[in-house]
Amino acid sequence: LSLQFSSVQPPVLPLSNVTMHELKEVSIGGHHLMTLLVESLKIPLLESLVLDIEAREPVDDLITNLLTRSGAPPLSHLALAYGATPYYYAHMGAVSSWGFLSDLHNLESLQVGFTPFEPLLTALGAPDEDQTTWLCPNLKSISMRNCHSHNEGVGKLVQMVDARNPGPSVSAISVNGVTPTKLKQLELYDCANLGYDVVEWLQGRVEDVSFTEPTHERSLFMRGGM
């Protein structure tokens, strides 16, 4: 199921919950009122969820409620604002907390756009003393696009990769008997200025690494090289 509408009128009558018994893939985007549609769905077999909605509020509750209504479906792919354009950035509701990832044990692929860089990397890193489990222990692919990074961003990235893909002589941390699957793919587009040494290190830890520098960084690099 794929729905994308840039203009939507508010419903006159309250929406009733609809159970999509056989549906496995859902992609919904466009106008912020499309969140009302998401709030009415139950998708017990959901495997792939793509949301590119011009949300007015954080979308983490929207996702949590959908998964709860659907009875904890076997979601393996999640994309949030990954296909959004810069226009959405000023309006889109950011994720206020990545805590909902603790319920996504089957998640293998995560794509995120226009959200702060560091909080997600911290959440996906090694569990701290207050955590009892790895978030998304089966995660194999992480893609981030236009996720603004602050000074600690690159350090958080290195810590996350080092925790999930440790060096040859080091084992990943096991928490309550669970050791995370190694990342196979890492994509970072217009997020952070990594530097050649960091890129080389990442390529030594992750099988498939793709990245582009933020646009302003590329411009400075090109002017500096002229």
**How much is the pTM?**
0.89
- When pLDDT is averaged across residues 107-113 and rounded to a whole number, the result is 97
Long-range contact pairs involving 28-33 (C-beta distance under 8 Å, separation at least 24): 28/2, 28/3, 28/4, 28/52, 28/53, 29/3, 29/4, 29/53, 29/83, 29/84, 30/3, 30/4, 30/5, 30/6, 30/54, 31/5, 31/6, 31/7, 32/56, 32/91, 33/8, 33/9
Q: What is the pLDDT of residue 91?
A: 44
Buried b (16+ CB within 10 A) or exposed e, 80-101: bbbbbeeebeeebbbbeebebb
- When pLDDT is averaged across residues 169-195 and rounded to a whole number, the result is 90
Q: What is the pLDDT of residue 83?
A: 82
CA distance 54 to 63: 15
Tell the residue number behind the tokens 């099988």, with chain if given: 207
Task: Name the token pair of 145.
Answer: 């696009």
- 25-45 pLDDT per residue, tens: 999 999 889 999 999 999 999
CA distance 114 to 121: 14
- 118-170 pLDDT per residue, tens: 999 999 999 987 788 899 999 999 999 999 888 789 999 999 999 999 988 88
Q: What is the pLDDT of residue 89?
A: 47
Higher pLDDT, 149 or 225: 149
- When pLDDT is averaged across residues 188-197 and rounded to a whole number, the result is 92
- When pLDDT is averaged across residues 103-131 and rounded to a whole number, the result is 92
Q: How many residues does the chain have?
A: 226
- When pLDDT is averaged across residues 55-75 and rounded to a whole number, the result is 93
Q: What is the pLDDT of residue 222?
A: 38
Average pLDDT over the chain, rounded to whole? Answer: 88
CA distance 39 to 196: 44
Instruction: Tell me: pLDDT of 217 over 60.
Output: no
Of residues 154, 151, 79, 139, the one with CA closest to residue 115: 79
Instruction: Tell me: pLDDT of 213 over 70.
Output: yes
